[in-house]
Amino acid sequence: MMDTILYLIFTFTYILLFAIGIFLLRRKTSVPGMILLLVTLGLIIDNAIIASGAFIGEGQPLKSISLIRFWTHALFTPALVLFGWYMANGFGVKWAKSRFSFNFALVLSLVLMMIEIVTETLPLTLTPVNEYGVLRYSSANSSGPPIMVLVLIVYLLAAGFSIWRKTKWPIMLFGVVIMLFGSAVSLPIPSSAAINAFELIFILALWITYRKSLKAAD
């Protein structure tokens, strides 16, 4: 039951971040802000569906809505490559100043989206998993982090490191490193929510960096 409570906490935290994001976008509309808003929306859906599993129970209704988790992940998450470019460009990183670097980030985002859809989402087979009081439907074919996530992390590491080198602003790099650690290391704790906690820190770091970029642009 504790994990269900944690997923509910994650859900409401993302809702708060989403509300803050809308406030920031109402003050100044921007592409990176909209990207983060979409990714945050996807994480609200993801954590809410996982938290609801214990209440809905195993069966077709939970299985059907669980598909939304995977589609939002495939459609929204790759755009974080483009977000990384916007942050690097906004903080004055040299390699992000060229038109080529923007086109590369845009094409990479679209390619990663297609790879995720073709290799992970379309052939998806869902199977019920019940652990630590949480019932969810997960991919039966999952065997480690997908290509999309690995490439995305590498790109954001490069962007975060470049921003740190240029401005001494470490938050984005810190968030990406935390996410990388959470994905790579299996912690000996009786919970399935650990990776989601690292993910929350990661997204929070991106929002803080985005807010910093708005101040830098003023």
The CATH number of the domain holding residue 92 is 1.20.1070
pLDDT digits (tens, 9 = 90+) for 68-114: 999 999 999 999 999 999 999 999 999 999 999 999 999 999 999 99
For the CA atoms of 178, 134, 151, 164, what is the dihedral angle to 10 degrees? -20
Reading the block at residue 96, the tokens are 């992000």
Any residues with CB less than 8 A from the CB of 200 and at least 6 apart, and which? Answer: 10, 13, 14, 43
Number of domains present in the structure of the chain: 1
Q: Which domain range does residue 26 map to?
A: 2-217
Q: Does 1 score more than 80 pLDDT? A: no
Confirm if 144 and 183 have CB atoms less than 8 A apart: no
Which of helix, strand or coil describes residue 128?
strand
pLDDT digits (tens, 9 = 90+) for 2-43: 788 899 999 999 999 999 999 999 988 899 999 999 999 999
Residue 200 identity (one-letter amino acid): L
Angle at 7 (CA atoms; ends 184, 116), nearest 5 degrees = 50
Confirm if 198 and 43 have CB atoms less than 8 A apart: no
What's this model's pTM, rounded to 2 decimal places? 0.93
pLDDT digits (tens, 9 = 90+) for 146-171: 889 999 999 999 999 999 999 999 99
Confirm if 80 and 152 have CB atoms less than 8 A apart: yes
Burial class (CB in 10 A: 0-12, 13-18, 19+), 161: middle
Containing 103, the helix (H) or strand (E) segment is: helix 99-116
